[in-house]
Chains A and B, each alone.
Chain A
Amino acid sequence: MAKKTKKTTVKSGEAALLTSRNDVSQRILTVGREVFNDIIKKAKKPSLRFPIRSLANVKYDPKTGYFEIRGKTATRTLSYNTVKTFAQSMRLLATTKKDLLDKNDIAGKREIYYNSKSWGECRFEEQPESDTLLDDMEAMLGVNREQIGYIPEERGGDVAGPLTVFDQNPSTHEIVKINCGKLGTGAWSIPARVEHLKFESDAKFILVIETSSLFQRLVHHRYYETAKCVLISMSGVPTRACRRFIRRLADDQKLPVLVFTDGDPYGYCNIYRTLKVGSGQAAHINRFFCVPQAHYLGVTPQDIIDFGLQDATHPLEEVDIKRARDAMKNDPFIKHHKEWQDALNQMLKMGVRVEQQAFAKHGLNYVLETYLPEKLKRGKFLP
């Protein structure tokens, strides 16, 4: 597919953030030339440099709105210990340039793993090996793998509400209109690549929901009509496609984003934090995948008290406590926002966590009839 798609994308100006495939190809060439010069001209051991991808190497600035990678890099110099990975890196770069970029093709991560089986003893034994090298390569080239032509194999997320998405037929390039308000009891799935999509919506905000069962309850009762919002379900930590979709939709339609997850450290520090400012692991691409306009709706620790959920909670487990303490100590985002530290401290003090479904205690539809309207009316959200 894709040759014309790409052109359309570039033309449409949607990919201002993105690097063209030609540029990526040039960057690979530069890396190759440096390695070659090291060996032949400078007669020294070649090395590859990667930005370090971890929370320790990101900074958070609310003005930019996402975790920005700092300068720390790791250098992989050729040695006895690195000769295998080094060789694999070079072959992976070569394959990427020749087979994907120059031929304008795409490949899944697992396909890359199988493709290496033709490399003889240089092949990847397990897929995690090739996945790690792909991540390294992304970071080294400063692009995300979708731009290089690697497609993710994860599900994006579900969308329902007053939104029309303009997609394309991949072969005929005919525009396909999807009205997400007229899908009956179902929802529209976010595709792996979202750069080419266009939107039309009269919604007032986007409501992002962690669990798909709550999403279905809201769809069933057509809550999106009542509240005039686009509902998006993430099913746990949002995928890159899901994050990118929310970001593009929110930017395009200038919509605020509200996030509704379980009330536990995982929901706060992993799901919400990743959606809003990105992750340490993917620090080099956070600027494409963050949603700085997101705010946290609930369930907050205070909601447990305000909505009388004390007897519908679970005690915090060891991992929850550790996660909360760890976030307060190491997560630049949590460290920056006192509100979040207060919320986490309150939760630790109460010693309990709460699920989205806990509102069913007061009746199955309490969540959409009372909780959500009440919270929206108050209009006070965590940053």
Chain B
Amino acid sequence: MVRRCCALLLLLVPALAFAQPRPPAVALQNGALTATLPLEVLNDSAVRKQLGSGLTTTFLIIAREGKALSAARLEVRYDLWDEVWLVRRIEFDRRGDVQRVTSREALEAWWRGPVRLIARAPRSRLQIELTVLPFSAAEEEDARQWIAKSGGVGTANSGSLVDALIGTTISAKPIVSYRWDVEVPAR
């Protein structure tokens, strides 16, 4: 009996370790393909921790269909002063919305909203990649400038080598990333 349990555990542990959330729900809406990200992503422990950091957590969604690419982005920042979530949705055509949500429940409700990902409906299957970045490009640039100035090299006469060193070193490494193969619903 014990042996069976152990064998079962051995099989389950890697499966649990590499478990990833269920795929995004995709749907066709006014000719465009929309994706709704699973709530597990928002509740992932690393993501939760990052959401409270005060930095802008960026969820980069990339859809691939063969060689064709399309992307959308979600940004979430907790405003520590007003204690609200500032959320932003940027869809494939760069349209989107900015909202202030006051509770975790409201954030989850916003999260469940669909994101327009591709202008037209793909033929059958597509690949969706989600990369969660710990800070935005603006915050990255701000930190880069700050380090350069702190090191006394951010002036007009600064050493380009040091600038290049800093510029190429600071980058947003993904906290988590997922990849799903998604079936496109029939029109």
* Bind each other: no
Which residues of A does B touch, CB under 8 Å?
A: none
Which residues of B does A touch, CB under 8 Å?
A: none
